Structure 1
Amino acid sequence: MLKCCFRLFSISFLGSCFLRNLVLKMISLSLSLFLLCVSQLFLFSMSFVGFAKAFQGSYMKSSITQIERRFDIPSSFIGVIDGSFEIGNLLVIAFVSYFGAKMHRPRLIGAGCLIMALGSFLTALPHFFQGLYKYETTISHSSEANGTETILPCLNNESRPQGDDLPSAETQTECEKVAGSSLWVYVFLGNMLRGFGETPVMPLGLSYLDDFAKKENTAFYLVTILGPMFGFMLGSFCAKLYVDIGAVDLDTITINHKDSRWVGAWWLGFLLTGAVMLLAGIPFWFLPRSLPKQEKNTSCTTVLLMLSIDHIFWFSADFLPSLRRLFSNTIYLLIILTNLVQVNGFIGLITFKPKFIEQTYGQSQSKAIFMIGILNLPAVALGIITGGFVMKRFKLNVLGAAKICIAASFFSFCLLLSQYFVHCGNIHVAGLTVSYQGEPEVSYQEQSLLSQCNSGCSCSLKHWDPVCSNNGLTYASPCLAGCQSSTGVGKELVYQNCTCVGDAHLPAANRSAVLGQCPHQDSCDHMFKIYMGLSVLGAFISACGATPGYVILLRSIQPDLKSLSLGMQTLIARTLGGIPPPIYFGALIDGTCLKWGVKRCGGRGAYGTVYLFLLLLFKIIHCDHWFSIIWFSQ
């Protein structure tokens, strides 16, 4: 009996142990699966946020020209608006760097996404307050008995209203109210708000990945690379849509997306990018504050140091001695200056390149933005990857990395220099770039727009309302072309009996002009293709030096100063490389304009773009600095 009881007890005990172990294993397996799912969810969410952030930022870059025209502000001022993102970022980065790691990081990232989404919505808000866009035009309308309209371009002194060039003091206030000229403040604040929200996303997100995720984080970087491409593609699409789409009859609009007065639906893209960012931030509100650590990811730590100033010098007792040691390193100082020059050139180039392509090669804003998105940006990403592959494949030291950098800088300089010889020249504008007889004669004087052929008209000399005549000349307005009548409506409008077009003895039908400026010569499209080829190749070669440059920085600094060195580099690049370039590049564009238009309220609008010289100057300084780095590295 006792033996039987003992056997039953043993069986029951062993069974309970087995069940307990089984339950523990199931719990352990479930916990592991849960942690894996959370880790993968966080990785997916960070990838989506990285994409959304790049998508949002690149769309802002692609919309600069549209915003400039819509709010009637010069290029130098649009640079201030563009730099407000960095201003907002720098205002709160110290706070986030110090307190972020002590708080619920996923929820802080979610809050940052929400703020960035609100920033995008705030940027688009002025569109709904401004009213309809009124582009610059000089034509007058005369209603006929049958309800049709006849355009009267050339009016004599008696029939033209006085004060046509500048609005009177009494109407100035009302004009500014209609134009909504001060509503650019919403764009400025919206972009700054995006800078606030972006601050915790990358540092805290990458540190969370570094703490809890495994090595398969490649997807994060690959998805992030796609963001700028999609941002510029969206910018291209919105630039083709009229700004007041859905609110006006597009058949009555007399300009198209190739016209310099055209404003695309810039606001639409901000609504879309804001919605994407809002969606990207939702998962972070449901993630745990922390997870048990898994395998360490060194590469993520390196990237974190490059993107954040976390754990650098705030509240650090040995900050000043460390800073003194850091800036006594000659190679580090040269790398900082070199990086600063490179960032200045890149920011200035990417901000105003669509405008440069539009003015130099006669391409539409939509096409210019699209070409940058699908060609230049992928070339930059491929160049960065190629530079890293070469460094790893040949196991290059600091001197070898410096040689790659100087070679990349020199060859990209040569390709940029060659772009000076690939241009189309100015379009033939009567009284501006050629005489009324078609002879080359560049003039900056408004009076040169007048001629004997249009002396019978009382024409405004300040407006830009170009027409293209059948003799291949562009006239600043139909009035200055001496056009007496017109047929058709909207984009089909044709001006007839233009006294400045051709011989006065020709029939009126042979002295006509159509809306818009004349296209560039036939070879311009070919020149544009060559330019884009040189530009893409130059972007790839220049980007090949990015990874070797970071390697030089990391290997030239004492191990205990690496975090400080990378943080200071990021801080200096964002402060002096992210804010000033759009401003002084824009001032250069304004200063080299050949013909200024007139705003609705009597101000000036910008139409000129020449900035290759400044880019070449940056490249020369960049090459010189790398020569100095090689000298001190030997």
Structure 2
Amino acid sequence: MAAKADLSDSRKDSNQCSTDVQSSVKKKTKCSNGLKMFMIALSFSWICKALAAVVMKASITQIERRFGMTSSEAGLIDGSFEIGNLLVITLVSHFGAKSHIPRIIGTGCLIMGIGSILTASPHFFMEHYKYDSTLNGKPLENSTAIYTPCSTDLNSTSNNKSSVLLESGCKNESALPMWIYVLMGNMLRGIGESPITPLGITYIDNFANEGHSAFYIGILHSLAVIGLATGFLLASLCIKLYVDIGYVDLSTITIKPIDSRWVGAWWLGFLIVGILSIAAGIPFFFIPKSLEKPTNKRKISASLDISSTKENRSRRTNCKNPVQTKESKNLTGFFLSLKCILSNWMYLIYLISSLFTFSSFIGYITYLSKYLEQHFDQSMSKLNLLLGIIAMPTVSISVFLGGFISRKLKLKTLGIAKLFFISHICAITLKAMLPSFNCERRLVAGLTVTYDGSDQETHPQNIPSSFCNSDCNCDPILWDPVCGDNGLTYMSPCLAGCKSSVGHGKDLVFHNCSCIEANHFQSRKASAHLGQCSRTDDCSRKFIYFMTMQTLSSFFFGLGGSPKIMLAFKNVEPELKSLALGLHFLVLRAIGGILAPIYFGAAIDSSCLKWATNNCGDKGACRMYDSISYRNIFFSLCLGLHVPVIILNIILFMIMKKKYGENNGSSNSGEIDVDESNLKEPLNNNIQFEASAHEDSETHI
């Protein structure tokens, strides 16, 4: 009776929804409407941030070509988002929860939108994109005009334009490269996105009905996946459009989306995302700081209030005197907690293993599209379309199945570990099979084969001249490939020795090519058309096999996604779960998210055969890679990083099996139920878990 009286008094004195029958209905309705408005606004912001993340990943190669950068420099731009996010995420998470959460999220959306628009802004201040072309920006106006690529006039500069560019173009270069604004915009986007996930989930859990938080967060995760898939479709559309669409006559463009010089409308995706992000931030300024929370108290059964499980006892013995009280927020308490976590060998092994895995994934997903473009002759637009309609739904289903299996089978700690390890081994095994689906090296005269078409064990490096084009006064730097009737690709029609041409734009055809005739090709009028020679049908089939195997590998990675996150806090003290998760993602994003694109890009750059040259004569974007070297370097890095992961996972599982098996008897295998452990945790632990689960679901593409 006394307990009921105390509960009644607390309900009367609180500012939450009244228990009075008549007023309760009105207040609960008002509370529900406010939360619904917040959920709608937050859902829109989650879609926008997922959209922006995909657009950046999908556009990084276009940015690389537009600004004449190496892959490692483009990797720095890609990692700048993580730099901006990590600069403020801790401060925002700590101080933001005590402030006006909706306004902070709204401000973050505005900053995120401004960052996206800043990323796109260089397009409007730069000159029109100029790619290497034998026509030198002066396309033929009609099909009867004749253009002579092979000029024997030594005084002519129509083909040898390198000196002209060096003298005139370099003087006009700005002291500050324009790609700096792209980097700053991406970093600003990272700063703006930082409060959306942690503070958004905090607000939901503060004011949602008892037991409804997980449902709302599940809705957010589902909408985020929709945002990811939509992002790939948007990127596919933008890349298919020419970068200067609306400013130039597209009929004069001689390159196609499959060409390595093609630059799509990368800026359009960032502009759209920026406008949507700003619009997503406006509703948050009309949402109150707090809502009248329903009176339902969080109820935990008495059986769960007692630290009864033997596994909890065994975990507490790992670290003496853990920081348990909320008052211990000073630096001393923080460092004691940090020392406690880092002295936990199981957590430390898991952290290092996750770092290797995450680094491999980031490098792989960043440069996978470029690999498929170079190796299988697939356009970036098509590749992003396939990722949007095939890969993302597959990953979404697998992540759901991973959580469903864990719950359905009521897996405990060792069961979760087994599910994660088995799915991870399957995924790595399938990925290890991907290099076997390969196409032959391109036959490019002067790069991979000689001008007579003979294959060599070691390809000649940049030897464009031959007896058949020695009198043509060709520019050796120019990259405007043509495919000869003999099946060989030449770096330019001039280097193919072509004497005449017919047509204009993409339909331009070159005739009387001396190098093709010299190759004993039976034709009086040996000709060549723009673009590299197409791959064989066998290569197209291998691309289908590659994508099928890649999809299966992604499925198994996603299947272990939820168990992987749960292992991040299963082996630490309950009071330190939030810190364990925070440290886990801090290390992954700081080291893997920032550094992996840079060193992956630097390694891939070493396989480049033909570099573009900017106006100052410096190395620009790579026009052609040695596909075999690219494949070997790319998969050696990806799979090599997984070797220590397998070893560490085996060690971790052996330690866990020994620890929990000995401490908890044979009946339950010493394992704690998944749901049981979560019910006892503070609110912040739940927030960190949900946020991290979302991050992990985005990575297994």
TM-score, with normalisation over the residues of structure 2?
0.81
Deviation at 1:620, TM superposition (A): 1.8
Q: State the AA in 1 paired with 2:173.
A: E
Deviation at 1:141, TM superposition (A): 8.3
Question: Aligned residue for 1:185?
Answer: 180
Alignment of 1:221-620 (within 5 A): 221-294=221-294, 315-441=330-456, 443=458, 445-446=460-461, 448-502=463-517, 510-604=525-619, 605-606=621-622, 607-608=624-625, 609-610=630-631, 611-620=634-643
Q: Cα RMSD over matched residues? A: 2.5
Structure 2 spans left out of the alignment, 5+ residues: 1-19, 300-325, 658-701
Comparing 503-512 with 223-232, which one deviates more in the overlay?
503-512
* Residue aligned with 2:533, SS: coil
Question: Aligned residue for 1:155?
Answer: 151
Of 153, 168, 172, which residue of structure 2 is paired with 1:171?
A: 168
Alpha-carbon distance in structure 2 between the residues aligned to 1:181 and 1:234: 30
Give yes or no for the alignment of 1:632 onto 2:655. Answer: yes
Of 210, 214, 218, which residue of structure 1 is paired with 2:205?
A: 210
CA contact (8 A) 1:68 1:78 kept: yes
Comparing 144-153 with 490-499, which one deviates more in the overlay?
144-153
Q: State the AA in 2 paired with 1:38.
A: G
Q: State the AA in 2 paired with 1:587.
A: A
Deviation at 1:445, TM superposition (A): 3.9
Comparing 322-331 with 134-143, which one deviates more in the overlay?
134-143
* Residue aligned with 2:451, SS: coil
Give yes or no for the alignment of 1:196 onto 2:191. Answer: yes
Q: State the AA in 1 paired with 2:372.
A: I
Give yes or no for the alignment of 1:50 onto 2:73. Answer: no
* Residue aligned with 1:595, SS: strand
Comparing 137-146 with 430-439, which one deviates more in the overlay?
137-146
**Distance change >3 Å, CA 226–CA 506, structure 1 → 2:** closer
Alpha-carbon distance in structure 2 between the residues aligned to 1:35 and 1:141: 64
CA contact (8 A) 1:430 1:474 kept: yes
Deviation at 1:353, TM superposition (A): 1.2
Alpha-carbon distance in structure 2 between the residues aligned to 1:297 and 1:472: 73
Question: Aligned residue for 2:644?
Answer: 621
* Residue aligned with 2:610, SS: coil
Query: Identity of counterpart residues, as a percentage?
Result: 42
Q: State the AA in 1 paired with 2:571.
A: S
Question: Aligned residue for 2:111?
Answer: 115
CA contact (8 A) 1:239 1:264 kept: yes
Alpha-carbon distance in structure 2 between the residues aligned to 1:336 and 1:145: 62
The superposition leaves residues 39-87 of structure 1 with CA deviations (integer Å, 9 ceiling, x where unpaired) of 1111122111111110111111100000000000101001111111111
Alpha-carbon distance in structure 1 between the residues aligned to 2:269 and 2:242: 13
CA contact (8 A) 1:228 1:377 kept: yes
Question: Aligned residue for 2:6?
Answer: none
**Distance change >3 Å, CA 313–CA 593, structure 1 → 2:** farther
Give yes or no for the alignment of 1:32 onto 2:28. Answer: yes
Deviation at 1:442, TM superposition (A): 5.6
**Distance change >3 Å, CA 196–CA 297, structure 1 → 2:** farther
* Residue aligned with 1:150, SS: coil
Deviation at 1:157, TM superposition (A): 5.1
The superposition leaves residues 570-599 of structure 1 with CA deviations (integer Å, 9 ceiling, x where unpaired) of 111111121001101110111111222333
CA contact (8 A) 1:348 1:582 kept: yes
The superposition leaves residues 100-156 of structure 1 with CA deviations (integer Å, 9 ceiling, x where unpaired) of 012110011000000000001101100000011000123458999999753221122
Deviation at 1:349, TM superposition (A): 1.4
CA contact (8 A) 1:136 1:598 kept: no
Deviation at 1:601, TM superposition (A): 3.4
Alpha-carbon distance in structure 1 between the residues aligned to 2:223 and 2:115: 23
Give yes or no for the alignment of 1:80 onto 2:95. Answer: no
Alpha-carbon distance in structure 2 between the residues aligned to 1:355 and 1:315: 48
**Distance change >3 Å, CA 222–CA 296, structure 1 → 2:** farther
The superposition leaves residues 333-382 of structure 1 with CA deviations (integer Å, 9 ceiling, x where unpaired) of 01111111111111111111111110011101111121122222332222
**Distance change >3 Å, CA 594–CA 330, structure 1 → 2:** same
Alpha-carbon distance in structure 2 between the residues aligned to 1:550 and 1:515: 51
**Distance change >3 Å, CA 176–CA 245, structure 1 → 2:** same
**Distance change >3 Å, CA 486–CA 549, structure 1 → 2:** same
Alignment of 1:92-131 (within 5 A): 92-131=88-127
State the number of aligned residues. Answer: 597
**Distance change >3 Å, CA 97–CA 470, structure 1 → 2:** same
Comparing 73-82 with 369-378, which one deviates more in the overlay?
369-378
Structure 1 spans left out of the alignment, 5+ residues: 1-23, 299-310
**Distance change >3 Å, CA 390–CA 247, structure 1 → 2:** same
Question: Aligned residue for 2:14?
Answer: none
Q: State the AA in 1 paired with 2:590.
A: T
**Distance change >3 Å, CA 506–CA 190, structure 1 → 2:** closer
Question: Aligned residue for 2:16?
Answer: none
* Residue aligned with 2:146, SS: strand
Comparing 184-193 with 217-226, which one deviates more in the overlay?
217-226
CA contact (8 A) 2:239 2:266 kept: yes
* Residue aligned with 1:383, SS: helix
**Distance change >3 Å, CA 371–CA 115, structure 1 → 2:** same
* Residue aligned with 1:594, SS: strand
Deviation at 1:315, TM superposition (A): 4.1
Alpha-carbon distance in structure 2 between the residues aligned to 1:434 and 1:280: 55
